[in-house]
Structure 1
Amino acid sequence: MKQFLDIVDPIHNFIRVYEIELKIIDSPIFQRLRRIRQLSGAHLTYPSAQHSRFEHSLGVMHIAGQAANALKEKGLLNPDQIQNIRLAALLHDVGHGPFSHLFEEVLQAKRKISHEEMGKNIILKSEIGDTLSKSGFDKKFITKLAFGDTKYRFVNEIVSGSLSADMMDYLQRDGYFTGAEHAKIDHQRIIQSLDVYKSRLALDRSALYSFESMVLSRYQMFKAVYFHKTVRSAEVMMLESIRLADDQLNLTTLNLDEYVKLTDEFVVSQILSLSTDTDELKRAKQFAEDYQNRKLLKCVYEQLTDKKFTKSQENKLKENIARRSKVSINEIFVDTTTTSSLPLTPSKEKSKSIILVTEGATKSSIKEIPFSKIPVVSSIAGTMNIVRIYTPAQYRKKVEIAAKSILGD
């Protein structure tokens, strides 16, 4: 009997899935990822960006398996470890809520919990954990590995980090489905050049250009796609809709049985079915309708900034713009998008260096190079902060004038 299944994939051609992986993939909890878009509201700007967390998870498992095999050939991993790594990579996004990172903003604000924490609970307390245990796998170890918590740092870095399977898949997949040309990377060259030094993932110096290209691609994708002003407009609207509806619908529940019901369309349909007894519910429903019909907020001000805004500073800015424009504060939205320009480590710290291995005739030399010494990488190092002001179309001119008078042209 055949012990595997080959799944056709536009990024990797074929993704081979083995028996234990197929059991997890076929579970309702994992199948739910088909109904959570990878890029939440980006499809309203890039119509083909309909891909989901489901196929991304398969892709990450595939690349993680390739990376683990490359390390096995160098005597650094054994076959049992490869299967653990593949399972962890498959499950790394299982805790995502609807609209992916957008929903997490509400979850963090109201419950002080991340999708990683929800993912840990799902693996440990659901049928996925039972399936792992029944098949002879340590569900606690795989949970730690999926979320970067094991003592084997280089193994964590295969799943997430600056040389991770996660980034190698999402850049290519997001680039393919949005049509953005910024995400062309040579991930096979990077995979075959991986090594380990002092429990950290290292890279053969000959693949440094491929690494530089990948980091630059990530930076360009944030500017062109993830932080695109119209993409963020749709996300700001859905974020506001979820916030306004949450007390009524309890969308940010920590009850796992309820949480795993939440998908993009489920949440939109729940909000659209709300009664409009209060102004908050009326506005929540209107935002959801406008999101669905692509009647988006207009960006009237946009500026790259060194400043990181606090929530109270955002509110103060809204008040000032409302006062000056004579437009209701409820019609003004301040979006202070921020991210590290470079990928984070598995422990969510800023990446600062890479270990490069140079093969010599008789022995190898190994050196840790700070990103500040790599011109292409250092040129984009830091934090990407963008402040934008959004408002409905009918208030566009008034709010634009007020925003520019307060924030400058």
Structure 2
Amino acid sequence: MAEQYKVINDPIHGHVELHPLLIKIIDTPQFQRLRHIKQLGGAYHVYPGASHNRFEHSIGVAHLAGELAKALKEKEEELNITDRDVLCVQIAGLCHDLGHGPFSHLYDAIFIPRANFIPRDNDPEYNKLEDKMKKWKHEKASVEMFDHMVKKNNLEDEMKKHHLKFEKPVDENDPDGDDMTFIREMIKGKKTKTPGRGVKKSFLYEIVANKETGIDVDKFDYFARDSYHLGIQTNFDHRRFIHFARVCQVEENWHICTRDKEVDNLYEMFHTRYCLHRRAYKHKVTKIIETMIAEAFVKADEHIQIKGSEGEMFSLSTAIGDMEAYTKLTDHVFQDILNSPSEELDDAKQILKRIIDRKHYRCLGQTRPNLSLTKTMRDRWQQELAEAVPNNGGLTAEDFIVEVVTMDYGMKENDPIENMYFYSRGNPNHPFKISRDQVSKLLPTCFSETLIRVYCKKIDEISLNAAKENFQQWCTMKGWPIPQY
């Protein structure tokens, strides 16, 4: 008896039909872990509706990945997209975020770079983690967790039952490489030297994580899902992109292109990205709460013990070196620290308690200097702020936090549409680029901005007034715009 597809009801995409193999993956502990990792990290402390998790986002990405792959398969039979290809793309979409740590990007972007890695004497294997931490990215962790999940749950036989291949086939009539390699590559967002698919199917790598243009189903889902839960309106319609998508050959490569008339819809997509960053992801309170959580994690790091494979114990940061331990690491660590009776965690608990009591560090304002910024500058600026006014109310450099915040359209200072190829209705097999002049004179001329935010840890009225005076005086000394509050 054939296995049945299952249908779930999703608030964003409606009734979503899932392949039996996807259900097997979803039902593993490694995937269920995503139920306990907030999609937007600290934003839940600002937006009450932002309670959604990586779990439902991953299912949404798998759904959209399948929709786009199937649309291309049906419209262009000459692409030879197989059912195996579609299933692999869906699996990659489902598993692309398996490697996220507690509070999503807070873990890999803020905590890990600041973690106090404590090397072990005469233990070179363990000490290799220091180098790993410096290169830590959640995409790499997702691949490691995917491999761990397959092995731990004996999914290899299940995958073979659905005709997925684990070795490069010798059949010349099947030029595709092994499917596990293909899935790993799509999760990482780029091909390796031994690709799981050949050049003629290189467009498949643009579906889940598109490093060429930044237009992929991962963004389609989280733009729609995050906007829904944040209560922010968006004008981008991902369904139109999928409807008009087709594959065109550009020199020796094959890329996913869209109709020329869809250029305005794509600008709306990148503008949506900027708006979500400005209003939610990098909201001034969201950022400082995430900074405080990371600060508490650093103080708690060596006192957290997580049991990994073969009984070995790992800390909050070194759990990245063992997927058995990392599987147990979720947002629950916040409450574990907050409610722990251990006196060793008192410093970390005090920081988290300030968040719960809404006594978080206060933003003094922000300014937009026209210069390139580095971490060394940021450290020096905290000292300069403390010294900006001679009678500064007893403030020290440790009382200030300087955050450098960059927001853009996805390609730093560049126009993201410059990398996109389009086709016309009359000549669908002739891809071309569209210049800004062909679109509108009302397009933005700048696609990236950087601002400096300053926070004060002391929140009594006297300290805050003194800190604001310091910040304003410091900006004047630097010749920067007066800060906005």
TM-score by length of 2: 0.77
Q: Among residues 124, 148, 154, which one is paired with 2:203 in the alignment?
A: 154
Paired residues of 2:337 and 2:349 also in contact (CA < 8 A): no
Going from structure 1 to structure 2, the CA distance change for 1:396 and 1:376 (only over 3 Å counts) comes to farther
Tell me the alpha carbon deviations over residues 260-295 of structure 1, each in whole angstroms, 9 at most, x when there is no partner.
Answer: 111112244235526445xxx543221111223333
Give, in whole Å, the separation in 1 of the partners of 2:258 and 2:106. Answer: 33
Which SS does the other structure have where 1:6 is aligned? strand
Paired residues of 2:69 and 2:89 also in contact (CA < 8 A): yes
Tell me the alpha carbon deviations over residues 209-252 of structure 1, each in whole angstroms, 9 at most, x when there is no partner.
Answer: 22121111111111111111111121121121122222332211
Q: Which residue of 2 aligns with 1:347?
A: none
Going from structure 1 to structure 2, the CA distance change for 1:227 and 1:305 (only over 3 Å counts) comes to farther
Which SS does the other structure have where 2:434 is aligned? strand
The aligned runs of 1:18-37 (5 Å cut-off) are 18-37=19-38
Paired residues of 1:88 and 1:146 also in contact (CA < 8 A): yes
Tell me the alpha carbon deviations over residues 159-203 of structure 1, each in whole angstroms, 9 at most, x when there is no partner.
Answer: 02322001110011000001012x332111001111222322211
**Larger CA deviation: 91-100 vs 399-408:** 399-408
**Is 2:89 the counterpart of 1:85?**
yes
Give, in whole Å, the separation in 1 of the partners of 2:85 and 2:138. Answer: 25
Q: Among residues 89, 92, 101, which one is paired with 2:105 in the alignment?
A: 101
Q: Which residue of 2 aligns with 1:337?
A: 405
Q: Which residue of 1 aligns with 2:242?
A: 191
Letter in 1 for 2:104: S
Mark the runs of 5 or more structure 1 residues left unpaired by the alignment.
Answer: 345-349
Going from structure 1 to structure 2, the CA distance change for 1:305 and 1:79 (only over 3 Å counts) comes to farther
**Larger CA deviation: 390-399 vs 362-371:** 362-371
**Is 2:264 the counterpart of 1:259?**
no
Q: Among residues 260, 269, 278, which one is paired with 2:336 in the alignment?
A: 269
**Is 2:187 the counterpart of 1:120?**
no
**Is 2:469 the counterpart of 1:401?**
yes
Going from structure 1 to structure 2, the CA distance change for 1:16 and 1:363 (only over 3 Å counts) comes to closer
Going from structure 1 to structure 2, the CA distance change for 1:28 and 1:107 (only over 3 Å counts) comes to same
Give, in whole Å, the separation in 2 of the partners of 1:276 and 1:328. Answer: 27
**Larger CA deviation: 160-169 vs 287-296:** 287-296
Instruction: Tell me by how many angstroms 1:140 deviates.
Output: 2.9
Which SS does the other structure have where 1:15 is aligned? strand
What is the alpha-carbon root mean square deviation over aligned residues?
A: 2.5
Give, in whole Å, the separation in 2 of the partners of 1:146 and 1:351. Answer: 23
Give, in whole Å, the separation in 1 of the partners of 2:333 and 2:326. Answer: 11
Give, in whole Å, the separation in 1 of the partners of 2:104 and 2:282. Answer: 14
Q: Among residues 192, 199, 205, which one is paired with 2:260 in the alignment?
A: 205
Which SS does the other structure have where 1:126 is aligned? helix
**Is 2:299 the counterpart of 1:299?**
no
Give, in whole Å, the separation in 2 of the partners of 1:108 and 1:368. Answer: 39
Give, in whole Å, the separation in 1 of the partners of 2:327 and 2:424. Answer: 47
**Is 2:225 the counterpart of 1:173?**
yes
Going from structure 1 to structure 2, the CA distance change for 1:256 and 1:2 (only over 3 Å counts) comes to closer
Going from structure 1 to structure 2, the CA distance change for 1:329 and 1:366 (only over 3 Å counts) comes to same
**Larger CA deviation: 260-269 vs 120-129:** 120-129
**Larger CA deviation: 205-214 vs 304-313:** 304-313
Give, in whole Å, the separation in 2 of the partners of 1:132 and 1:341. Answer: 39
Paired residues of 2:44 and 2:50 also in contact (CA < 8 A): yes
Paired residues of 1:147 and 1:156 also in contact (CA < 8 A): no
Going from structure 1 to structure 2, the CA distance change for 1:388 and 1:188 (only over 3 Å counts) comes to same
Give, in whole Å, the separation in 2 of the partners of 1:370 and 1:131. Answer: 51
Paired residues of 1:342 and 1:381 also in contact (CA < 8 A): no
Paired residues of 2:406 and 2:450 also in contact (CA < 8 A): yes
Paired residues of 1:212 and 1:377 also in contact (CA < 8 A): no
Give, in whole Å, the separation in 1 of the partners of 2:286 and 2:445. Answer: 22
Q: Which residue of 2 aligns with 1:47?
A: 48
Letter in 1 for 2:401: F
**Is 2:274 the counterpart of 1:215?**
no
Give, in whole Å, the separation in 2 of the partners of 1:386 and 1:26. Answer: 43
Give, in whole Å, the separation in 1 of the partners of 2:105 and 2:341. Answer: 24
Q: Which residue of 1 aligns with 2:421?
A: 355
Which SS does the other structure have where 2:156 is aligned? helix
Which SS does the other structure have where 1:38 is aligned? coil
Instruction: Tell me by how many angstroms 1:339 deviates.
Output: 4.5
**Larger CA deviation: 253-262 vs 62-71:** 253-262
Which SS does the other structure have where 2:359 is aligned? coil
Which SS does the other structure have where 2:47 is aligned? coil
**Larger CA deviation: 101-110 vs 399-408:** 101-110
Q: Which residue of 2 aligns with 1:143?
A: 184
Letter in 2 for 1:256: M
Q: Among residues 261, 270, 288, which one is paired with 2:352 in the alignment?
A: 288
Paired residues of 1:50 and 1:177 also in contact (CA < 8 A): yes
Give, in whole Å, the separation in 2 of the partners of 1:329 and 1:353. Answer: 43
Which SS does the other structure have where 1:159 is aligned? coil
Q: Which residue of 2 aligns with 1:386?
A: 451
Larger Rg: 2
Tell me the alpha carbon deviations over residues 139-170 of structure 1, each in whole angstroms, 9 at most, x when there is no partner.
Answer: 33211111112355422211023220011100
Going from structure 1 to structure 2, the CA distance change for 1:100 and 1:246 (only over 3 Å counts) comes to same
Q: Which residue of 1 aligns with 2:124?
A: none
Which SS does the other structure have where 1:294 is aligned? coil
Paired residues of 1:64 and 1:89 also in contact (CA < 8 A): yes
Which SS does the other structure have where 1:120 is aligned? helix
Instruction: Tell me by how many angstroms 1:20 deviates.
Output: 0.6
Paired residues of 2:267 and 2:417 also in contact (CA < 8 A): no
Going from structure 1 to structure 2, the CA distance change for 1:265 and 1:372 (only over 3 Å counts) comes to farther
Give, in whole Å, the separation in 2 of the partners of 1:90 and 1:369. Answer: 33
Which SS does the other structure have where 2:100 is aligned? coil
Paired residues of 1:353 and 1:370 also in contact (CA < 8 A): no
TM-score by length of 1: 0.90
Letter in 1 for 2:354: D
Which SS does the other structure have where 2:299 is aligned? helix
Tell me the alpha carbon deviations over residues 43-74 of structure 1, each in whole angstroms, 9 at most, x when there is no partner.
Answer: 11110100000000011111111111111012
Letter in 2 for 1:107: I
**Larger CA deviation: 47-56 vs 215-224:** 215-224
Deviating above 6 A after TM superposition, structure 1's stretches of 4 or more consecutive aligned residues are: none
